[in-house]
Amino acid sequence: MDAAVTVKEDEHAELIALRARVAELEQKVAYFQKQLFGRKSEQTLDPNQMSLFIGEFEAAQAALKAANEAQAKKTHVKGYECKRKNAKEKLRPDLEVVKTVIDLTPEEKACDFGWQLVSVGQRFVRTAVEFVPAKMVRREYFIKVYKKVRVDGSADPVLVQPHVPNAVITRSMATASLLTKIIHEYELDVPLYRQIKDLQRLGLDVSETTLCHWTINSAEVLAPLYDLMHNALIHQPFLQGDETPTQVLKEPGRKATSKSYMWAARTVRSCATPVVYYTYNQSRGGQVAKDLYSGFTGVLQCDGYSGYNNLKGVKRVGCWAHVRRKFYEAARISNTLKTCEPLKLLDYMFFLENMWHKLAPKARRRLRHSKMKRLLKQFWRWCDTSDALPKSGFGKAIKYAHDQRPYLNAILQYGAIDWSNNATERNMKSYVMGRKNFLFSGVPEGAKANAILMTVIETAKANGLDPMTYIGSLLDELAQFPEWRKSSDLGDYLPWNYPKLMAIRDMA
């Protein structure tokens, strides 16, 4: 009898386990179906449903108004009136203007006897945008040679000739303007092999290997400034970090299919001297994070990856976007997007943060303590009392949130840190979009060049510079620098100092 009972209990336990396994597999199938056929947007908050939080919304608006008034006492900002957006094309004010005057033909100017035409002015008709096609120019350099001689012939003649400017790349015909064009196409996610036909059409027959070497050598010219940007980065009090896989085919001692990684670190949005820094490494290990953030002693915002756990002297905070993404996927699979309580709470948190993102760090910290703490308590209470199965979508989302709980709560203490790490993810997406086209790097030197060029391009953008104008000027000028100057005189070429340098030159 006891044996029979034991068998039934075992069968019952096995049945429960099988049902749990079936439920888990069904959720996985639903997830893959949603990934293939479902919408990709993660937006769930409907402005028409804000009545669910009407009390909190009105209180948040009142708090925001008070914070704005307090900030206005310190900073006077010129008021502006919101204008309706229109789809009309806009031209940059610094574009070259070519004036075209349309006149009568000689036949049309001919008048009958006793009549004459008198010009009464011009009438504006329309504005048009014209594209001037690019062209390749073969530039040949000559130097003027002089012979200095004594008038009385008492000394041997001396040859005198001017200094020849250094080429950007030694023993190469590539100039700064050509290299800038190639890098610009790279910025637009056009792989090098796709640029060959365009260059041939313009008159330059070049191989993909040569383009690779030019790109790598251009990055080497910019490398001293790249190192200077990293030094500026680690002296900031707040940083954000992320990493993504990449593939390098010819890494010594590794298979072509092996995963390598591109790491990114950046300053927060409120930083006056923004830096977006990329670095390539074969590994995703914690030692890479230690090297990247060596010398940094501030607050780092990142995801839950354990490679960031052993950074000495660094305070970590979490990313609420990662938490929301996991709850969103769980709700999407279970078809509970409109009723999922934790997702509603998370959406409202982001709604409030969006209202506050232009405030000063102190004001944002004060509002977080007064308004966000209560929402966090409700969220953690739901997580603590949920009966979701550990291997279900909600179970995994809850576990991730619990593992990151101290780091997520720590954001309340730092008004300069955003509620999410999305800024870094957007920078990483710039690399990922290019990776979809070029798929891989051939050699480690190419991957390192990618990191240098991406750093200079994205940092220039963050500082409001046109990256191609900036890079063209850097390639032209840094090639003339002797080695001993490259470590001491590059500070003026950092993106936040560069406009001042150009202004001083224009005045001179």
Over its length of 508 residues, how does the chain's per-residue pLDDT go in tens digits? 566 656 566 666 777 776 777 666 666 666 555 555 555 555 565 544 444 454 555 555 555 556 556 555 554 444 445 455 555 678 888 889 999 999 999 998 898 888 888 899 999 999 989 888 888 999 999 999 999 888 887 788 899 999 888 899 988 999 999 999 999 987 788 888 889 999 999 999 999 899 999 999 999 999 999 999 999 999 999 999 999 888 888 778 788 778 889 999 999 998 999 999 999 998 888 999 999 999 999 999 998 888 898 899 999 999 999 999 999 999 988 888 888 999 999 999 999 999 998 899 999 999 999 999 999 999 999 999 999 888 888 999 999 999 999 999 999 999 999 999 999 988 888 887 776 666 557 788 888 998 999 999 999 999 999 999 999 999 999 888 876 566 667 889 999 999 998 888 887 6
Tens-place pLDDT, residues 184-207: 987 788 888 889 999 999 999 999
**What single-letter amino acid sits at 329?**
E
- Could you give the CA distance from residue 431 to residue 208 in angstroms, rounded to a whole number? 21
Phi, psi of 262 (to 5 degrees): -105, 120
Average pLDDT, the chain: 84
Residues contacting residue 280 through CB under 8 Å, at least 6 positions apart:
246, 248, 260, 261, 262, 263, 444, 447, 448, 450, 451
Report the predicted TM-score, pTM, of the whole model to 2 decimal places.
0.80
- Return the ∠ at Cα 478 (arms to 190 and 209), rounded to 5°: 35
Alpha carbon 496 to its chain centroid, in Å, reads 17
312 contacts 289 by C-beta, under 8 angstroms: no
Residue 245 β-bridge partners:
261
Alpha carbon 446 to its chain centroid, in Å, reads 20
